[in-house]
């Protein structure tokens, strides 16, 4: 006999868990399936000898949808926001003070007087730009139109890179990039104590407390459809072990290719998967017994797409006296790969002598940061979902879905929309 549920959620990352928790709070019977043994997806944290490694550097945008949804669900978010001190711009192998505010802009030798004036003007002007008017424009086109000096353009592009994670300014939609940088500078970010698994754990506890049945090590292999009606309807799913569930609605909170593979033969979904241009990064994570240069906390590549940051300076991620350092290279835009030695070289510049203090380390050459960048032609408004118009009862959630935000913000914004729509539907049926 088939098992039944009101809503079947595929995927136990932040997006799936948040959607499930909100739906269950709204009175729906929810079953969530995660193929892995553990929940969290890309928000997973690994602990080694007291060092907490996120899957690459993770910052929660305090003005974004993820913070909003977690807040509404009562999920505690503990950590600290990085302040401006200890930041460097890295250009042609040299460190310069990072022009992150008025004082550092005056002091830095990264730019000459005219460049400083232009950078100040561009960053101030950026706050007033209406991002929604930039539809159809790439970030590169916006930079070319608004920043005249090449050396200033490099610096502004680096600020966009660190807040969007995208190195491909030609492909990235300007509306998404500008909105993201505006939010990042206005409200700032937070590094989470203990890593993002703390958010996952609290979210999973919230979901279970609301009544969600969470099934791990359960790979969904098919979304079942009724194809008799004018529009097909999702009516349940089948797990890899053969178990079948009947459901009133199915929410897939995975990558575009996961969605396409669950509904084979669906050309629209196959098209979404084919069009998605993933945003990738290489990541070197290092747990040190101490920092050789305790005041050097951040390096941002200006001529190269590099990032190095001591997250443990702000959040509890390392044992007392130790340091957790993230080094990353934003891939794309002509830089399709990174070697471990390249990233080691970045850390050599920020923390010379770090190798003598290594307790634990990990190199991951090609992480998927975002399943799809908001593309130039379509912008945020042109992203797919969360409603899958041509399959009734099917919804998608993820960092490639819907008109709001990037990264985890897009996942949780789309989760919120799906929960609102499905709760509304239940209310309408009950009335
Ligand atoms: C290096 C790096 C840095 C990042 N930095 C930031 C940052 O600073 N700020 C930020 O906001 N975001 C950041 N992100 C992005 C953030 O981690 C993701 O946006 C977020 O975790 C995505 O959550 P999700 O639930 O949408 O997807 P995922 O975490 O990918 O979860 C999808 C889940 O679905 C499961 N699944 C897929 N198919 C099936 C199936 N058939 N059956 C069962 N289960 C299935 C998968 O196993 C997975 O657990 C970063 C990501 C990376 C990799």
Q: Where does the pLDDT of residue 101 fall: very low under 50, low under 70, confident under 90, or very high at 90 and above?
A: confident
Atom in ligand 1 nearest the alpha carbon of residue 58:
8
Nearest CA to ligand 1 atom 34: 11
Residue 240 CA, ligand 1 centroid: distance in Å = 21
- Number of domains present in the structure of the chain: 2
Q: What is the pLDDT of residues 322-373, one digit of tens each?
A: 999 999 999 987 778 889 999 999 999 999 999 999 999 999 999 999 999 9
User: Does a structural domain hold residue 310?
Assistant: yes
Query: Domain with 336 in it: what CATH number?
Result: 3.90.660.10
Are both 175 and 260 inside the same structural domain? no
Give residue ranges with CB within 6 A of ligand 1.
Answer: 10-16, 33-36, 41-43, 55-59, 61, 66, 219-220, 253-254, 258, 281, 283, 367-369, 398-399, 407-409, 411
Mean pLDDT of 39-67: 97
Are both 207 and 269 inside the same structural domain? yes
User: Does a structural domain hold residue 54?
Assistant: no
Are both 314 and 381 inside the same structural domain? no
User: What pTM was computed for the model?
Assistant: 0.96
pLDDT greater than 50 at residue 153: yes
Q: What is the pLDDT of residues 117-135, one digit of tens each?
A: 999 999 999 999 999 999 8
Mean pLDDT of 28-45: 97
Could you tell which of 19, 20, 43 is best to mutate to test the pocket of ligand 1, judged by most ligand atoms within 8 Å of the CB? 43
pLDDT greater than 60 at residue 405: yes
Residue 13 CA, ligand 1 centroid: distance in Å = 6
Tell me if 169 sits within 8 A of 333, measured CB to CB: yes
pLDDT of residue 36: 97
pLDDT greater than 70 at residue 426: no
Q: Where does the pLDDT of residue 429 fall: very low under 50, low under 70, confident under 90, or very high at 90 and above?
A: low
Nearest CA to ligand 1 atom 18: 408
What is the residue range of 11's domain? 3-42+196-276+375-430
Could you tell which of 8, 9, 12, 13 is best to mutate to test the pocket of ligand 1, judged by most ligand atoms within 8 Å of the CB? 13
Residue 129 CA, ligand 1 centroid: distance in Å = 30
pLDDT of residue 85: 75
Mean pLDDT of 74-79: 96
Are both 208 and 320 inside the same structural domain? no
d(CA 316, CA 94): 30
pLDDT greater than 60 at residue 403: yes
* DSSP string across 225-246: EE-SSSS-EEEEEEETTS-EEE
pLDDT greater than 50 at residue 430: no
Q: What values do phi and psi take at 99, rounded to 5?
A: -75, 75
- The pLDDT mean for the chain works out to 95
Q: Quick one: which of 219, 224, 210 has its CA closest to 33?
A: 219
User: Does a structural domain hold residue 59?
Assistant: no
pLDDT of residue 41: 98
Are both 388 and 291 inside the same structural domain? no
Q: What is the pLDDT of residues 176-203, one digit of tens each?
A: 999 999 999 999 999 999 999 999 999 9
Query: Domain with 397 in it: what CATH number?
Result: 3.50.50.60
Q: Where is the domain boundary, 340, 370, 400?
A: 370
* DSSP string across 170-196: TTBBHHHHHHHHHHHHHH-EEEETT-T
**Six-digit token string for 117:** 């004036």
Residue 41 CA, ligand 1 centroid: distance in Å = 5
pLDDT greater than 50 at residue 431: no
Mean pLDDT of 248-270: 97
Are both 10 and 116 inside the same structural domain? no
pLDDT greater than 80 at residue 427: no
Nearest CA to ligand 1 atom 33: 11
Please name the helix (run of DSSP H) or strand (run of DSSP E) that holds residue 104, with its range, or none: helix 102-107
Mean pLDDT of 308-313: 97
């Amino acid at each position: 006999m088939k098992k039944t549920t009101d809503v079947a959620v595929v995927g136990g990352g932040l997006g799936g868990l948040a959607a499930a928790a909100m739906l269950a709070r709204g009175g729906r019977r929810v079953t969530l399936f995660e193929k892995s043994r553990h929940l969290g997806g890309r928000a997973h944290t690994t602990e080694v000898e007291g060092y907490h490694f996120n899957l690459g550097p993770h910052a929660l945008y305090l003005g974004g949808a993820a913070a909003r949804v977690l807040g509404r669900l009562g999920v505690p978010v503990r950590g600290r926001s990085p302040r401006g001190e200890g930041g460097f711009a890295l250009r042609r192998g040299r460190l310069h003070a990072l022009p992150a505010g008025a004082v550092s802009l005056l002091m830095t030798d990264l730019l000459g007087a005219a460049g400083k004036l232009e950078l100040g003007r561009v960053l101030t002007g950026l706050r007033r730009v209406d991002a929604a008017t930039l539809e159809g424009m790439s970030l590169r086109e916006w930079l070319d139109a608004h920043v005249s000096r090449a050396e200033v353009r490099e610096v502004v592009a680096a600020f966009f890179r660190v807040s969007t994670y995208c190195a491909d300014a030609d492909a990235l939609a300007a509306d998404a990039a500008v909105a993201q940088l505006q939010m990042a500078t206005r409200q700032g970010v937070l590094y989470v104590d203990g890593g993002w698994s703390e958010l996952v754990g609290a979210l999973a506890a919230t979901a279970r407390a609301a009544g969600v049945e969470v099934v791990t090590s359960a790979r969904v292999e098919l979304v079942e459809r009724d194809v008799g009606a004018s529009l097909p309807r999702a009516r349940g799913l089948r797990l890899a072990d053969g178990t079948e569930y009947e459901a009133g609605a199915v929410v897939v909170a995975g990558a575009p290719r996961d969605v396409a593979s669950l509904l084979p033969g669906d050309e629209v979904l196959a098209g979404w998967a084919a069009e998605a241009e993933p945003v990738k990064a290489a990541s070197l994570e290092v747990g040190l017994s101490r920092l050789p240069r305790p005041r050097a906390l951040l390096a941002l590549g200006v001529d190269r797409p590099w990032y190095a940051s001591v997250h443990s300076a702000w959040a509890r991620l390392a044992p007392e006296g130790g340091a957790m350092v993230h080094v990353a290279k934003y891939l794309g835009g002509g830089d399709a790969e990174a070697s471990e030695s390249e990233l080691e070289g970045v850390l050599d510049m920020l923390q010379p002598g770090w190798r003598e203090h290594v307790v634990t380390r990990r190199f991951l050459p090609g992480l998927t940061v975002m399943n799809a960048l908001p593309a130039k032609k379509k912008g945020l408004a042109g992203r797919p979902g969360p409603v899958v118009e041509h399959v009734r009862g099917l919804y998608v959630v993820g960092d490639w879905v819907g008109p709001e935000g990037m990264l985890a913000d897009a996942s949780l914004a789309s989760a919120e929309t799906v929960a609102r729509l499905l709760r509304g539907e239940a209310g309408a049926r009950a009335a």
